[in-house]
A and B are shown apart, each in its own frame.
Chain A
């Protein structure tokens, strides 16, 4: 009940967006379906005349059908970029198999005697096709179109991953935020659309052959019109933003950003987190969300817009340890402290760039950095039976690099042995590993500790005001109290949400901070 009322509240608040997404969804489905019919039906007819080609063509269409939709979109992006083109093309490919197959089956299902009699009476081949075969194949053909339609309504939700809009925007935002209301807000209308189309075409299928012919013709007129829904003029502005679903949906993401900075007239598209950087790089969009230490910021020459009004919560990286470790090995504390405040945002961005973009080994990156900062010492020969320090990390490059730095320092400065457990998955897995003593230390971010692990009331979050020191103080206190775990000192960089623009464009427009951006948009 609560979910339901929350759902209606969400729909009411986002009514404009819901309408737009629904129209886009219908447009994507109809447009791709039209292409599918225009190519699939003639192809099916051709196969009915050349049955020997049928296994090859149907096999190929079948293989296309089995390619996971996300993978298919991934293949298409290098070829077609982002936006409606890859989405419609992918949907078109998915609709081909049922349409070709049912056209062929429909024609093959026409009784041979009827065709022979028609030919024997003196109908030309074209007349046989138009007056006999097509009308009789139409019920089966329509069943194929119906199947393709329902498939496409479902798959079109993925269009949201390539900035093509549709109801998937809510769904993926909801998934990213683990927000069931938001998922339902997109999934229910999508399911409703599928059911509506299915019922509509199911009704059409039951018509007499003659009426079916008229409806089929009407369909060829209606489909382009529905497809054109996609092209309805949408809000335009000086800049176009491309945001990941999570950013659009979460309270400390776009909504609070818009409120605080007055980012009006910034039309945006939603796309897969993995694609936002690419989209900015290729100038498909101008403003994106990202993480302030991502390697691609350097690789693609992007600029982080300064969050001068502190909308994004601080995500300072801090090693979290089990206090017992420091009590047993007092020599460790000063060694770990050597990284305190050492790594700046741009330094971490650089290191990530080497890992993510140059594909260097995290261990080599860590060593090279320590050498540069004069911290490198060759590892001491480990004494047999030396106590082992177990370091954990989540599965992304930044954490791997940090862990390797700590490992190198411990080996170089102490007689302790080190075991790294990289790739412990997400936040909760690392946290539980630390709590249960499976690991002794892992790097965590203050914002994550606050919002994901502690989950205080909004009032508490507001009271902290996004002040880095206040947030760190709160999580440190609460972790001691609740879990008997210790947050050490920050490493220096803040891997938080950021708005990014292409360096060149930002320079030309004189935009360095989010305030500048808001100002520019309001001009």
Chain B
């Protein structure tokens, strides 16, 4: 995606205090259309507050938020929010509305035609693996946690907003559901075109979904960059320590076959692999017995992976 487009979201020197406690301090970033920014950091680092200042659920003490070059303070908060999808960890489905009615909330607020809303709702539910015939008329309490979160996502996407804000959307789910929903989420065509800001404290999730990661601690930006930059070019000790525990897993997910086999594109592009296949994915394929498809062995892959890490390390030192 070209980075030369004007940013959709521009945040400048945003600050917020609650009482004596500075929750967000002088945070600035820009986000281009179609990109996904992950706000990452430990609990209480201010990432949720930062997210809520984007749609004015919280008003900043200082700094500005511009959406499409317009200061959000010059727009009615309701109008602003109707143009941004919003998903929270607790989902917050309206318990007295059916699934279909929950999905239809924003289109109805925008005064769209009932027929169009119904069509859109059906399509979205189908795409999110909630067969409308079965689920449209159910109430939230009849659904599992994962199903509820899918409805929440459908609700956020119903009016096709160009921007979607997600606050720990998978936080309340069990690990298995979590992984499967995250995969669906990543593959959801609806979301690919959208500018997404996602809050999480889960490093793996951040690496899986982010174009850019904004790592926060105590309300201050520690580093803003691509996952690869944060992993291989940590700006300070905090960044390094933050990823230390999962370093190897992250490296496996970040480096691609193109990275580990830089000189040998033929080797990299096996029958089922491309240069953008991650080492992790290649390993999974190899261990599940897909040996024949690969033009390299596991030992070759691991050796090349080690070399690649060394190259990254050297580059960083220089």
Residues of A within 8 A of B (CB): 111, 113-124, 127, 131-132, 135-136, 208-210
Contact = CB atoms under 8 A, between A and B. Distances in A.
A42 B155 CA distance: 31
A342 B109 CA distance: 91
A116 B57 contact: yes
- Interface secondary structure of B, over-half rule: mixed
6 contacts: A111-B95, A114-B93, A119-B81, A121-B155, A123-B78, A123-B105
B92 interface: yes
Nearest to B156: A121
B109 A123 contact: yes
A120 B106 contact: no
Interface of B: 55, 57, 78-83, 86, 88, 90-96, 105-106, 109, 152, 155-156, 165
A136 B106 CA distance: 19
Contact of A118 (B94, B156, B165): B94
Contacts of A131: 94
A114 B94 CA distance: 6
A123 B95 CA distance: 16
B109 A210 contact: no
Contacts of B152: 117
A136 B155 CA distance: 20
B105 A113 contact: no
A113 to B, nearest CB: 4
Contacts of B80: 122
A210 B80 CA distance: 29
Most chain B C-beta atoms within 10 Å of own C-beta, residue among A120, A123, A131: A120
Contacts, number: 65
Contacts of A113: 88, 90-92
Interface of chain A, helix or strand or loop or mixed?
helix
A114, A117, A119, A209: which has the most chain B beta carbons within 10 Å?
A117
A125 B165 CA distance: 20
Contact of A117 (B82, B83, B91, B96): B91
B120 to A, nearest CB: 15
A117 B88 contact: yes
A210 B96 contact: yes
A124 B88 CA distance: 18
Given A122-B81, A122-B109, A124-B78, A132 B94 contact: yes
A296 B78 CA distance: 69
Given A122-B106, A122-B109, A117 B93 contact: yes
B105 A121 contact: yes
A134 to B, nearest CB: 10
Given A123-B78, A123-B109, A118 B96 contact: no
Contact of B96 (A119, A123, A136): A136
A119 B57 contact: yes
B91 A121 contact: no
Contacts of B105: 118, 121, 123
